[in-house]
Each structure stands twice: as C-alpha cells, then as structure tokens.
Structure 1
Amino acid sequence: MTRLRAKVLLIIMSCCLSIALLSGCTSSASSEQEGNAEAVTVELATEPNTMEAGRAGKLVANVTGLAKQEGAQVTFELRRPDNKGLPEFIEAEADGDGRFTAEATPEVQGSYTVYIHLYQDELHVTKMKKLEVQ
C-alpha cells in the first residue's frame, strides 16, 4: 500500500508541476500581449467626412502600433445618441496598412459613441470614439 501511495503522490506532484509551468508560460505571453496593447492607437474617420442620418457612408479605423498586421480584425460598435436599444456591431474589412473600413448608415442625428474593437490572436483592444452625425 505504501508503494501505491508513493506513486499517487508522485503523479499528483507531477501534475502540479506541469500546471505551474504552463501557468508561467501563459503569464509571460499575456504580459507580452498587454505590452502591445499600450502601443496600439486607433483613429476614427468617415467617408464622407461628415456622416448624415439615413445616408450610407464608411467608418474607417486607422490602426498603428501592432507588431504585425496579419490576423488583425476590427469590429465597430455603434451606440445611438440617446443610448437606447442595443448597439449595432459592424465587422470591418482590412484594406491594408492598418486601415479597416465598414459600411454604416446612422439612423438619427446626434453624437454616437463608437467602440472600436481590435482583435489579434489573444489581444483585444477597445477604443472609444465619438461620431457626430448631421
């Protein structure tokens, strides 16, 4: 019975050591990604320069500070000026050189809050911007 306990104890210790090692690797990868998050900047632009209620236009996110552009994805989250109802989520397309665009038709005039979500691997950066619609 003592040998069995010794084997069980050895297996438990091996599992604990493996978990500790994996946790260490995950922490360093996460902190590396967090460092990248601080360097990321996102600017919001529109085409045309002035968006009008009920008219289609483009939302443009210009992203800088990423270590690499491959695999990056952007989603625009539009919140109405009155903040009522659910936000609208619009997937953007990469145009190259950190530029992401999406078609949008704001329904009403006013100051929209736009959250720009940037995803790349495990990195998720969110930037809040204002959009004035005439």
Structure 2
Amino acid sequence: AEPIRTCEVKVGDRIISANYDVVGRHNLDGVHVRVAKVLEVRECDGCENYVYDLSVEPFENYLADGVVVHNSTFGFGLEHIADGILHLWMDDVESVKEVRRYLIIKKMRMTNHFRGTYRVEIAPSKGLILTKL
C-alpha cells in the first residue's frame, strides 16, 4: 500500500499500530503490532493546517516508518524507555513571517551529545542542516 498524508486519512482506512505494556520495559521486546481500522475523523475549527492528533486506543501509539511514536505528547509514556528522544517544533509562521524549525536531542542513550537547541534548515539536494543556537 502507498503511504498517505495525515490530512488524507478517512474512515475505513487501516493504519499500523503497536500496543504493549510499557511498565518496567527497557526495550521493545513483546511489542504487538496490529492493523487498526480508522473509526472516526474529526476536524477542529481554526487549526486545519497546523495541528493533528493520530490516536490509537488504548495506548495512543502507532508505527511511523518502523518507529513507535505518538505525535502530540511529551510525557512519561515511552520516553523513560526510549534510547533516543528528539523534540522537533517550528515557530508560528504567520507571526514571524518565515519558516523556522528547531530540534533538541533530549536523550540519546550512551552518547555525550549537545543538549542545546539546533536551528534546522531543509536544503534541496543536501538534506537537513543543523546550526547550534
């Protein structure tokens, strides 16, 4: 199946999700992957182009390119067992009148990494360019 954009998801589509008990886990042994059917799609007024939340009950996690993720929370959930945690965000384009993206590597187990903020630029034919702030 071809990947689809989040804004194109509709009732009846199927997505891959992972459900497992995270209490006391330090790896992903025992992850159970399943295909879940989309039962409901809701749009909120005023945020069509900026915010989305893909939730798969009961654990609120899903697989994206083989990685167990949840796109709308920073919390205890998977962060305490993850080997790496990256936080990505961007400024409100309408208020700053340009696209500014940022990255923080909150955790990368067994590495001594920069813990500050990077500015992220996307350069055609080059990829991501990170600049320490």
TM bucket, shorter chain: under 0.3
TM-score normalised to structure 1 length: 0.26
TM-score normalised to structure 2 length: 0.26
Structure of higher RCO (CA pairs closer than 8 Å, 6+ residues apart): 1
